[in-house]
């Protein structure tokens, strides 16, 4: 086993310098990449973004560590979604801060789903309120943007909540054993693959 795999086995992957701060305006921002850093990341291709995010988060073992690979994908997909949604750098920073907060609530605080949903609702609510700054009285997220973010995080995190809980509470050996058992089950099913089992028998006659 490689040194990277051994390190992953003993330690939970942690996001380096991935702090959250609240601006005076009341909403979260992602301190792992300040405003200018987020703006630069928004101009990257998907491959460039993954390389940059790997360095920002300090995930040097993602090639051999299942947890780091899953978390890297979580952050890269979230950032890329914000880019495709045409979010501004401030909105993207908020999105990443929320993603980190929710994950941290699972990893460190062990919050159950309902309590984490309440934390998420509060954060989005704060971002949807008009700010008190004289320079800009508009909310960070309008109704359509807030609903889009809610939909994304519901599908990417909350619908997979149990999987993320297992990611932080299950050892590497247990994860691998579970994978091996799944492979054995499929191998014992016979000639039909899972995809073939789901295909209607009259598909080709339609």
pTM of the complete model beyond 0.85: no
The pLDDT tens digits of the residues spanning 72-114 come to 999 999 999 999 999 999 999 999 999 999 999 999 999 999 9
Q: Which of 143, 57, 58, 41 is nearest to 100 (CA)?
A: 57
Taking 50 as the pLDDT cut, the residues of the chain under it are 1-7, 9-12, 16-25, 134, 179, 181-206
- The torsion defined by the Cα of 126, 128, 133 and 136, in degrees rounded to 10, comes to 160
CB 19 within 8 A of CB 119: no
**What is the per-residue pLDDT for 33?**
78
Helix (H) or strand (E) holding 65: none
Q: What angle do CA 17, 19, 24 make, to 5 degrees?
A: 140
């Amino acid at each position: 086993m490689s040194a990277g795999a051994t390190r992953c086995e003993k330690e939970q992957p942690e996001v380096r310098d991935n702090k959250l701060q609240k601006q005076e305006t009341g909403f979260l921002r992602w301190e792992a990449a300040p405003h200018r850093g987020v703006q630069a990341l928004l101009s990257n291709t998907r491959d460039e973004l993954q390389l940059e995010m790997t360095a920002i988060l300090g995930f040097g073992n993602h090639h051999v560590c299942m947890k780091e690979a899953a978390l890297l994908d979580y952050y890269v997909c979230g950032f890329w979604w914000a880019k495709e949604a045409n979010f501004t750098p401030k909105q993207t920073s908020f999105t990443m801060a929320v993603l980190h907060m929710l994950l941290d609530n699972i990893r460190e605080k062990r919050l159950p789903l309902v309590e984490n949903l309440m934390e998420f609702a509060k954060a989005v609510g704060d971002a949807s309120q008009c700010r008190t700054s004289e320079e800009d009285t508009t909310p960070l997220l309008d109704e359509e943007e807030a609903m889009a973010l809610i939909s994304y995080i519901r599908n990417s995190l909350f619908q997979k909540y149990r999987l993320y809980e297992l990611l932080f509470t299950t050892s590497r050996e247990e994860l691998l054993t579970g994978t091996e058992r799944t492979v054995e089950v499929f191998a014992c099913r016979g000639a039909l693959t899972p995809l073939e089992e789901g295909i209607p028998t009259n598909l080709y006659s339609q």
